[in-house]
Amino acid sequence: MNSKICELLEIEFPLVAFTHCRDVVVAVSKAGGCGVLGAVGMSPEQLEQELKWIDDHIDGMPYGVDVLIPNKMVDQSEKFDADKLKAMIPQEYADFRADVLENHDIEASELRTIDTAGSSFAANTKSDGAKALLDVAFNHPIKLIANALGVPPDWMLEMGKQNDVKVAALLGTAQHAINQVKAGVDILVVSGTEAGGHCGSVSTMVLIPEVYEAIQPYGDTPILAAGGIVTGKQMAAAMSMGASGAWCGSVWLTTVESEVPSVIKEKMVAANSSQTTRSRSRTGKHSRQLISPWTDAWESENAPDPLPMPLQPMVAEPALQKVNKLAESGHDGAKDLATYWVGQGVGLMNQSISASDVVQDFKEDFVEAYERLTGFVS
């Protein structure tokens, strides 16, 4: 396809798949798109294993890696100190998370003790943790490195240039887009509020053309549209408004290959577009996820205000990991509590098919949309 994204990433179709599943990365890239592996929850050793597996199975096709280095968070020091962060979490947060689980018949006394469980996420959002992941990534033939939250630090942009790897960054406002372009980012991932995970408050339909117009004085940085996009028709609509392709995350969660627990996958297939919420309960920043009693509890009057990143993940992740494990074993209370990041496009994700079939559906859907539009002017 004649798209700048295809040119930059050396791909056939400008569909970029964010996923935590190596199988999805491989399937999407081999089908003509570009799989991007989310690495923030991994140790450098785990990332090395995942990328080695990808290299062995992807047949030389392009792929990328995604990290998360926020511009604003508690304790901006580069070095990670889990005990220091642990000491910043009040006891009431440990008691609250335990109460939520115990209200659903889950024994959770161990969660009343604050420890360093869940701190790997925090470690990897620090400069030294992120650099360790990128050192691993750049030892593999990646085509793209992405920062999932904010302007990439100068050292990340420089690493991209030195390794001839394109740098992308997610954003949710026109001003953020201008800041990214001025910083030297190669690709803008413009994410509307419909997106799963971290997202802003402006809809994709409004944000794409707004960003496109805003960045014109600063050059021709290509846009990947994100936020609620789970079909080729939506992708075509976004490209008609100024995008050069699409960045999708949610649509891969219900695929056959997805790493998502089966209980949550079933919830997603059954959900409609109104059954997600922007909540700070998981990371301390607004991120869209499935509504469940867990998200409801953090919105209740007696809930403590979610802590800033990276403290809130240290509260939430140990509890949610316990929930997911019990949910998979059939515990009814845990199944009710289970949640996961997903966008409003979940209402269109009504079946579980392979990732390669999703890519093919996108291509066919895109062509149908193009033909429909040309029919209006022929």
* Whole-angstrom distance, CA of residue 68 vs CA of residue 108: 30
- Which pLDDT does position 69 carry in this prediction? 83
**Strands, DSSP E only, in 221-312?**
223-226, 245-248, 276-279, 287-290
What is the CA 139 to chain-centroid distance, rounded? Answer: 23
Amino acid 304 reads P
Residue appearing with tokens 């000491």: 87
Structure confidence by residue, pLDDT tens digits, 310-350: 899 999 999 999 999 999 999 999 999 999 999 999 999 99
Confidence tier at 77 by pLDDT (50, 70, 90): low
- Which pLDDT does position 213 carry in this prediction? 98
* pLDDT over 60 (residue 119): no
* Whole-angstrom distance, CA of residue 38 vs CA of residue 66: 5
- Which pLDDT does position 125 carry in this prediction? 58
Which residues lie below 8 Å from residue 303, measured CB to CB, with a gap of 6+? 96, 297
CATH architecture of 4-73+125-291+339-377: Alpha-Beta Barrel (3.20)
Confidence tier at 83 by pLDDT (50, 70, 90): confident
* pLDDT over 70 (residue 120): no
Structure tokens at 229: 């996009």
- Which pLDDT does position 184 carry in this prediction? 96
Is 319 in contact with 325 (CB distance < 8 Å)?
A: no
What is the CA 77 to chain-centroid distance, rounded? Answer: 24
Rounded to an integer, the average pLDDT of 51-69 is 96
- Which pLDDT does position 5 carry in this prediction? 98
